[in-house]
Structure 1
Amino acid sequence: MRAIRHHSFGPSDVLRLEELPDLVPAPGQLRIAVEAAGVHLLDTSIRAGASFGLGAPPALPAIPGREVAGVVDRVGAGADDSWLGQRVVAHLGPAGNGYAEQAVVDANRAYLIPDGLDAPSAVATIGTGRTAAAIIEFAPIGPDDLIAVPSAAGGLGLLLLQAARNAGATAIGLAGGSGKTALLPRFGASTVIDYRVEGWQRGLDGLGPITAVFDGVGGEVGQALYDRLGPGGRLIRYGWASGVQNTYDDPSRAVIDILGPPIMSRLAEFERAALDAAADGSRVPYVGSVFPLADAAAAHRALETRAAVGKVVLAVRR
């Protein structure tokens, strides 16, 4: 099989397309002929050796990627033969190994892809979609909410805009560049702001007190939005892509941290909820950037330079 590996930590050009032995599923496992693999910002920081999320550094050489979709072409001992030929999607967990033509996963961690959902959308759902489902569970949105979503043109931001629209809330979408902000009304933003424009904070004037900030950015943008929260408002934090994790200390405006222990014991529940929402059309991932497997380095650069829109996916087989 072909796979992307890196033998050292470093810039995107450490990623190499290599020929590796075919995988053999262990007892209870399925082997997936991968059609699409998800690419995440965390993949880039792991590759760079800068941050490893909640996990330990991978043993090198490593195959990045944790989200795959494709067709089951082999089953291990004890796994049900009825899986053969089924279109499935799976999150591989912190071990990764997703940027490859084959992946193995325990049968109880695989899901049938809902009808009407293609492989790129399925990988966006199983990873980014489950995070959106968790955020909505821990910080419900109501019709009286005025919410702000920075990095709204990313895969997660676009799902949160849809969730706000479904709840009847008013949503402010913030993104960098006119190409990104133009996309946001389609997904439910009633106000759009380009935070690359000097004085962008003035775009918040007259909108009323924000009741919820869904923040994966942190830094200056996160702080400015927190400052606009009304009493009793909340900032829901699921990352700090700016590299700056702000400290907030106003007890009247709570900070709710989503990632880590709050969701780890319920991952399967959130994955199922995300797939159901994609299937019924209520929260459908937007796959804005698809790269061939061999161009994984370019996919990483698109994320690192903020050039990507929506979910970034590798097309492994066509």
Structure 2
Amino acid sequence: MRAIRLHAFGPTENLLFEEVPDPVPAAGEVLIEVAAAGVHVLDTVLRQGVAGPGPGPAVLPTVPGREVAGTVGAVGPGADPAWAGRRVVAHIGMNPGGYAERIAVPAERLHEVPEGLDAAAAVAMIGTGRTAMGIVQFAEPGPDDVVVVPAAAGGLGTLLVQHARNAGAVVVGLAGGAAKVARVRAAGADLAVDYREPGWAGTVRAFLDAGAGRPGTPRGATIVYDGVGGDTARAAVDLLAPGGTHVVFGWFGHADPLDAGPHRPDETYLKERGISSREVLGPVMLERAGGENPLRTLELRSLSLAARGLLVPAVTRYPLAEAARAHRELEDRLTVGKVVLEP
């Protein structure tokens, strides 16, 4: 079969499209004929040999990728034979191997892909979707909320915009460039603005002062979902009304948004404004989700909402052979939504 292999840490050109042996499902595993493989920003960090907030650098050579969807082509010993021929999606956790035409996956990680959901959308929901469901646990929006989403054209941002809109909240989405702003507007944001434009925060403030699209008294923002840090996040936090909530999450560009230097609002500033800041880290997210298998709880919630059409992930697709280009354009912020490789 063909797969993307990394033999040395470094630039995108180190991702090579090669022939490799077919995997054989071990006990309790199934073989998936991959139709879509997810690319995460963390993959770009690990490609360079940098430890991220999760798995450390891989043992080389390696086939990257931890999110896959496709059809079960074979069932290993001890796995339920009923999986054969079914469309499935799985987040394969700490073990890479997704950037390939086939992959062996523990059957316990499988979800059947809901009817009407394509493989690329299923991949987006099994990873990015479950993260979105984990984030909103810490500030669940409602009809009285005004939600600000920086990076609203990204995979997570798109889903957060849709979720808040479904809950009846007023949504302000921030994005870089006219094309991305148009996508944020199409996702349902009441106001979509380009954070690259000077004075963008004043545009949002005027919208809030006018009642945030609902004529009446001025309304400050009540929730900021911040996965970017830096100047944009600080300006977004400045839009929060007293009592608002700043939810911090994510990893981008080798710099953790939880440590965004002098532009991250400090505790004194937040306390003076009456703003609560909640850092959404993996263990806390899982603790909040509860259940016997918290990750699976979030995955099921995500897939269910997508199956009902309540969440529609944005997807940027690349051929598997062009994984290097996918990484490069993701790093340069040229992609929209979830990046997916298709064999």
TM above 0.5, yes or no, is yes
Change (3 A) 1:240 1:228: farther
Q: CA deviation at 1:49?
A: 2.2
Deviation readout 1:202-252 (Å, 9 max, x if unpaired): 122231311110111011111111122111111111125363523430232
Deviation readout 1:269-303 (Å, 9 max, x if unpaired): 0000001000001112121x111000000001111
Deviation readout 1:52-89 (Å, 9 max, x if unpaired): 22222211112111110001011111111111101000
Which residue of structure 2 aligns with residue 18 of structure 1? 18
Which residue of structure 1 aligns with residue 327 of structure 2? 300
Task: List runs of 5+ in structure 2 lacking aligned partners.
Answer: 209-218, 287-292
Q: 1:147 aligns to what SS in structure 2?
A: strand
Change (3 A) 1:61 1:68: same
Determine which of 305, 316, 337 is the counterpart of 1:310. 337
Which residue of structure 1 aligns with residue 229 of structure 2? 218
Q: CA deviation at 1:188?
A: 1.5
Report the AA paired with residue 75 of structure 1.
V
Deviation readout 1:153-181 (Å, 9 max, x if unpaired): 01111111111111110000000000100
* 1:58–1:95 CA contact under 8 A, matched in 2: no
Determine which of 243, 262, 278 is the counterpart of 1:256. 278
Q: 2:137 aligns to what SS in structure 1?
A: helix
* 2:35–2:342 CA contact under 8 A, matched in 1: yes
Report the AA paired with residue 82 of structure 1.
A
Distance 2:281 2:93 in 1: 14
Which residue of structure 2 aligns with residue 94 of structure 1? 94
Distance 2:65 2:199 in 1: 38
Q: Which has the larger radius of gyration?
A: 2
Q: CA deviation at 1:51?
A: 3.8
Distance 2:178 2:281 in 1: 30
Q: Runs (4+) of structure 1 moved beyond 4 Å?
A: none
* 1:292–1:315 CA contact under 8 A, matched in 2: yes
Distance 1:50 1:196 in 2: 29
Q: 1:31 aligns to what SS in structure 2?
A: strand
Distance 1:136 1:126 in 2: 16
Determine which of 291, 299, 312 is the counterpart of 1:271. 299
* 1:37–1:67 CA contact under 8 A, matched in 2: yes
Distance 1:94 1:180 in 2: 32
Q: CA deviation at 1:199?
A: 2.4
Q: Which structure 2 residues correspond to residues 75-154 of structure 1 after superposition, within 5 A?
A: 75-154=75-154
Distance 1:240 1:270 in 2: 20
Which residue of structure 1 aligns with residue 195 of structure 2? 195
* 1:212–1:229 CA contact under 8 A, matched in 2: yes
Task: List runs of 5+ in structure 1 lacking aligned partners.
Answer: none
Distance 2:281 2:84 in 1: 34
Which residue of structure 1 aligns with residue 214 of structure 2? none
Q: 1:49 aligns to what SS in structure 2?
A: coil
Which residue of structure 1 aligns with residue 213 of structure 2? none
Which residue of structure 2 aligns with residue 227 of structure 1? 238
Report the AA paired with residue 222 of structure 1.
A
Distance 1:43 1:283 in 2: 24
Report the AA paired with residue 80 of structure 1.
D
Distance 1:175 1:118 in 2: 26
Distance 1:231 1:156 in 2: 26
Change (3 A) 1:160 1:16: same
Distance 1:296 1:80 in 2: 33
Q: 1:205 aligns to what SS in structure 2?
A: helix
Distance 2:41 2:56 in 1: 16
RMSD: 1.3
Report the AA paired with residue 20 of structure 1.
V
Question: Between the two proteins, what is the percent identity of the paired residues?
Answer: 50
Aligned length: 315
Q: Which structure 2 residues correspond to residues 150-165 of structure 1 after superposition, within 5 A?
A: 150-165=150-165
Q: Establish whether residue 286 from structure 1 lines up as the match of residue 314 from structure 2.
A: yes
* 2:75–2:83 CA contact under 8 A, matched in 1: yes
Q: Establish whether residue 59 from structure 1 lines up as the match of residue 59 from structure 2.
A: yes
Distance 2:284 2:4 in 1: 32
* 2:41–2:251 CA contact under 8 A, matched in 1: no
Q: CA deviation at 1:263?
A: 2.8
Q: 2:333 aligns to what SS in structure 1?
A: coil
Q: 1:77 aligns to what SS in structure 2?
A: coil
* 1:218–1:241 CA contact under 8 A, matched in 2: no
Which residue of structure 1 aligns with residue 212 of structure 2? none
